[in-house]
Amino acid sequence: MNHTFAKDVIDGLTAAEKHLSSKYFYDDNGSRIFQEIMNMPEYYLTDSEFEILSLQAKQITEALAFNRPFNIIELGAGDGFKTFKLLEYLTKSSIQFNYIPIDISQEAMDILVEKLKRKLPGIMIEPKVGDYFEILQQNNDSQWPSLLLFLGSNIGNYLKEDALELLRLFNQNMKTDDKLLIGIDLRKNPRTIQNAYDDPHGITKRFNMNLLIRMNRELGADFQLDDFDFYCHYNPDDGKVKSYIVSLKEQIVTFKKLNKGIRFQQNELIWTEISKKYSLSEIETMAQKTGFQVKENFKDCKHYFVDSLWNKD
Counting Cβ atoms within 10 Å, is residue 163 exposed (0-12), middle (13-18) or buried (19+)? buried
pLDDT at 165 over 80: yes
pLDDT at 135: 81
Residues 110 and 235 placed together within one structural domain of the fold: no
Task: Please tell me whether residues 35 and 56 are part of one structural domain.
Answer: no
List, in order, residues 6 or more apart from 198 with CB less than 8 Å away: 204, 232
222-255 pLDDT, tens digit each:
999 999 999 999 999 999 999 999 999 999 999 9
pLDDT at residue 77, rounded to an integer: 84
Closest C-alpha to 197, from 143, 239, 234: 234
Segments forming the whole domain that contains residue 72: 44-188+278-312
Same domain, 137 and 264: no
Distance between CA atoms of 302 and 60, rounded to whole angstroms? 18
Task: Note whether 240 and 162 are same-domain residues.
Answer: no
| Cβ atoms within 10 Å, residue 61 | 17
* pLDDT at site 76: 86
Residues 40-55 pLDDT 10s = 999 999 999 999 999 9
CATH number of the domain where residue 101 is located: 3.40.50.150
Q: Are residues 48 and 169 in the same domain?
A: yes
Q: Are residues 100 and 123 in the same domain?
A: yes
For residues 98 and 274, what is the distance between their CA atoms, to the nearest angstrom?
A: 33
Tell me, yes or no, whether 171 and 291 share the same domain.
yes
Model pTM?
A: 0.89
Same domain, 85 and 163: yes
Shared domain for 158 and 63, answered yes or no, is: yes
pLDDT tens per residue, range 250-299: 999 999 999 999 999 999 999 999 999 999 999 999 999 999 999 999 99
pLDDT at 122 over 90: no
Q: Are residues 123 and 203 in the same domain?
A: no
The torsion defined by the Cα of 264, 269, 273 and 277, in degrees rounded to 10, comes to -170
Overall domain count for the chain: 2
Residue 188, pLDDT > 90, answer yes
The average pLDDT across 166-189 equals 96
Asked whether residue 204 falls in the same domain as residue 239, the answer is: yes
What would the mean pLDDT of 157-168 be, rounded to a whole number?
A: 95
